Structure 1
Amino acid sequence: MTLHSDVLIVGAGPAGLSLAISLAQAGFSATVVEQQPESALAQPAPDGREIALTHPSRTTLQRLGTWSHLADHEVGTIHQAQVHDGPLGRHSALQLSASLSTPGNPRGGAATDPLGFIVPNHALRRSAYAVAARTPGVRIITSAQVTRVATLGAHAELDYMAADDSAAPPERLHAPLLVAADSRFSATRRQLGMGAQMTDFGRTVIVCRMQHTLHHGGVAHECFGYERTLAVLPLPDDPQDGQPLCSVVVTAAAADAAALMALSPAAFAAQVQAQFNARLGPMQLVGERHAYPLVAVYAQRFTGPRCALLGDAAVGMHPVTAHGYNLGLAGVERLMAALVAARQRGQDIGSADALAPYASGHHRHAWPIYQGTNAIVQLYTDPRPVPRLLRQWVLQGARRLPPLQAAIVGQLTGQPPRWMRALVPR
């Protein structure tokens, strides 16, 4: 038997490719197997999703070399976030900014410090592939359908078939470690016998870009309207005509979402403009609307014999707290740290002892964010009187308690206070 690389990775999304680059930078070899064709990886189509990135996530992308492949108009900054409960303007909003909490400076940072950054999903995918494709030690097999994965005593196996040659027998790859990074509905995770807790919110998220007349000022808004949740995220100005742009995220029940998708572009823009109380002036749709079902996923375990889960295959988040991709990059850093430490100790990188630090560390990081996000969604989409009152108590309390505001900002920036990390079960 020949080992084809140190690590086999299923899925050439941003998490899987980021891991492959990181592995190669550390002296490991990686083989990535992806069902999409090379053209779809090199020039992915816009999918409507804008990814909010924390400061640690930007640092990771800079280390990997992918950040420099983003165009200036693809990188936006979020300077402030406002949380609204009920119809916009009825209650005072909770206002969050980096001045409330900055790592290493508990008294707060400068008002100009950003809470985070925002980048189109397709740009992150394109830049990840651009770097991975030219990184020595990374092999990317595209247009490949994985038909079987297995973990044995001494190695992991992966069988795949080329999409353009279905008559050919499957190819088999071997490596000490297999990593599943193929979406929250990971077929690889299921083949490995690793279950997951799934929460189907019974709702659909609609994402799109909109142009408006008044500038957003770098402020992100989360508007909980009971029947529909609206997020308005600041984007860089349109590179074509210099007009202000924002990302709009509407979350609604399935039937309501279908009706919104059926509206004309002008009618849809009018509905968003009305829910946002025309705060950005007249709005109009730019490009297409995209709809996605909302299902959150938390794997029952992140590692097994000679295998590990990464990205959405490990934790698939509701987008309301914008932490899904950040968790994926944090997982890359933790898994890499575990593999490098194992190599330094002379351990087999696929052994349970080698992978244990990743499993426990990633759980301690992801679990409170996942549970907190789900709790927020359940609380802020419940139209009954008692939850409505409780929401107001929460927002009023947060406005009056600077430590609580600092804790929220810490989560947004990717630097939660130490006391919050200490509460997470091992």
Structure 2
Amino acid sequence: MPLTDPLDIAIVGAGPTGLALGIALARRGHAVAVLDHQDEAALAAPADDGREIALTHTSIGLLRAWGIWERLPDDAIGRIREARVTQGGPTSTALRFHASGKGAEALGAIVANHAIRRACFQTAAAQPGLRLLPGQRVQRVDIGVDHAVLVHGGGGRLPARLVVAADSRFSELRRQLGTGAASHDFGRTMVVCRVAHDSADHGEVAHECFGSAQTLAMLPLRGRFSSAVLTVPGARARRLCAAPAADFAKEIQRHFGDHLGPLRLAGERHAYPLVATYAERFAGHRFALAGDAAVGMHPVTAHGFNLGLQGVQSLAAALGDRMHATDPGRADRLARYEARHRRETALIYHGTNALARLYASEGGPQRLVGRLVLDAARRMPLVRAAITRQLVGASPTRF
């Protein structure tokens, strides 16, 4: 493609956020390309990485609007009817959140990350106006007055009026663009796996159990399976991942108790160091950041991908339709996105980090404060209602 004829938007990163953004913008008439260093086979059939994504009704609505939701098979979609938060095991007095009275049958859905990635790729591959460029690692970005140029692969050059970094919270493109990010390493590692509980049903209830220096979440999946998410110091995470399957299941059982009967490991274990990031700016001259490249969340409140989709919607709305916005890299449009996405994310990001630090502490005073916070929330219906609205989203829907 000649430099005199740049396309509208080039997105770096074909994860679910980057692909969703490409779809949303192409549906608005923009000419879009999505580049990724992975080859087409890896993008089309992503490996199971153990992560399960909790989706709000707002996110489900967006995925439906972009044609992605319908590509998820029914057996890949689980429901979260209720969430219970305790300091200790599930038998402790719980702070409960449920969808009763919110116009929804469930708080939200839970879908495997690799299933979402596959559905996003399938939708993107069929979307007119969207070019997928797999196997292309971006080597350099050159920002000019009226367009940017991505140098990729073996020296290929791709000009675009707007470049979007959507290449993870450790974004190399963000660094090349000269944009810093505040980073917080929690000193913890998240170990995720699927466990089976053949003798009891989870009732579509999600549990978040805060303990001394560790957190255990049990997320309901289809059938008598749950996703166990254990957050522990890094050295302990390595030992847990190397332990025999039966010993690992006993460790989960020790933290969770016998609420679901005997537990057994039903899948591979995956470990992810917990680092949260927040970019110092979300947009600049001829560029924008999306997804984790803009805001990389701690998973304790399950906001990460939902905020990413909210950012996709905000950026697409700010850029507008192609027939009314011939230059998507205009500064005023990017400034609208910057302001809106900062409003959407700042309080949630910093509040989540504070919560994660509070309940990760081994100190007695911090544990006492944690108990007081939960007790106060249990006694304040308006607080619970506000949190439930955040969990459910704006538009309850059936699924």
1:109 maps to 102
Alpha-carbon distance between aligned partners in 2 of 1:366 and 1:300, rounded to the nearest angstrom: 13
Q: Does 1:172 align with 2:165?
A: no
Q: Does 1:301 align with 2:281?
A: yes
> Tell me, which stretches of 5 or more residues in structure 2 are unaligned?
none
Superposed CA deviations along residues 252-295 of structure 1, whole A, max 9, x for unmatched, are 00111111111111110111012111111111111200001110
Equivalent runs, 1:205-244 vs 2, <5 Å: 205-213=190-198, 214-237=200-223, 244=224
1:93 maps to 94
1:52 maps to 54
The ranges of structure 1 where at least 4 consecutive aligned residues each deviate by more than 4 angstroms after the TM superposition are: none
Could you tell me which of 174, 178, 181 is aligned with 2:166?
A: 181
Could you tell me which of 172, 176, 188 is aligned with 1:191?
A: 176
Question: Is the 8 Å Cα contact of residues 30 and 139 (structure 1) preserved in structure 2?
Answer: yes
Alpha-carbon distance between aligned partners in 2 of 1:329 and 1:308, rounded to the nearest angstrom: 15
2:291 maps to 311
Question: Please, which moves more after superposition, 383-392 or 61-70?
Answer: 383-392
Could you tell me which of 319, 327, 350 is aligned with 1:348?
A: 327
Question: Please, which moves more after superposition, 208-217 or 347-356?
Answer: 347-356
Secondary structure of the structure 1 residue equivalent to 2:26: helix
Secondary structure of the structure 1 residue equivalent to 2:268: strand
Note the C-alpha offset of 1:196: 0.2
1:139 maps to 131
2:189 maps to 204
Question: Is the 8 Å Cα contact of residues 285 and 329 (structure 2) preserved in structure 1?
Answer: yes
2:8 maps to 6
1:102 maps to none
Alpha-carbon distance between aligned partners in 2 of 1:333 and 1:180, rounded to the nearest angstrom: 16
Secondary structure of the structure 2 residue equivalent to 1:92: coil
Equivalent runs, 1:15-164 vs 2, <5 Å: 15-89=17-91, 91-99=92-100, 108-109=101-102, 113-161=105-153
Note the C-alpha offset of 1:342: 8.6
Alpha-carbon distance between aligned partners in 1 of 2:125 and 2:322, rounded to the nearest angstrom: 27
Question: Is the 8 Å Cα contact of residues 348 and 354 (structure 1) preserved in structure 2?
Answer: no
Equivalent runs, 1:378-397 vs 2, <5 Å: 378-397=357-376
Say what the alpha-carbon RMSD is for the aligned residues. Answer: 1.5
Question: Is the 8 Å Cα contact of residues 30 and 321 (structure 2) preserved in structure 1?
Answer: no
Partner amino acid for 1:98?
Answer: A
Note the C-alpha offset of 1:109: 2.9
Note the C-alpha offset of 1:2: 3.0
Partner amino acid for 1:93?
Answer: A
Question: Is the 8 Å Cα contact of residues 12 and 182 (structure 1) preserved in structure 2?
Answer: yes
Alpha-carbon distance between aligned partners in 2 of 1:342 and 1:193, rounded to the nearest angstrom: 28
Question: Is the 8 Å Cα contact of residues 3 and 173 (structure 1) preserved in structure 2?
Answer: no
Partner amino acid for 1:299?
Answer: A
2:345 maps to 366
Superposed CA deviations along residues 320-351 of structure 1, whole A, max 9, x for unmatched, are 0111100110011000000107963x573212
Superposed CA deviations along residues 340-375 of structure 1, whole A, max 9, x for unmatched, are 07963x573212111111111000011111011101
Note the C-alpha offset of 1:299: 0.3
Q: Cα distance 1:194–1:343, how it changes in 2: closer, same or farther (>3 A)?
A: farther
Alpha-carbon distance between aligned partners in 1 of 2:375 and 2:387, rounded to the nearest angstrom: 14
Secondary structure of the structure 2 residue equivalent to 1:393: helix
Note the C-alpha offset of 1:150: 2.1
Alpha-carbon distance between aligned partners in 2 of 1:88 and 1:79, rounded to the nearest angstrom: 16
Larger RCO (CA within 8 A; separation ≥ 6) = 2
> Tell me, which stretches of 5 or more residues in structure 1 are unaligned?
100-107, 162-168, 238-243, 417-426
Q: Cα distance 1:342–1:23, how it changes in 2: closer, same or farther (>3 A)?
A: closer
Secondary structure of the structure 2 residue equivalent to 1:176: strand
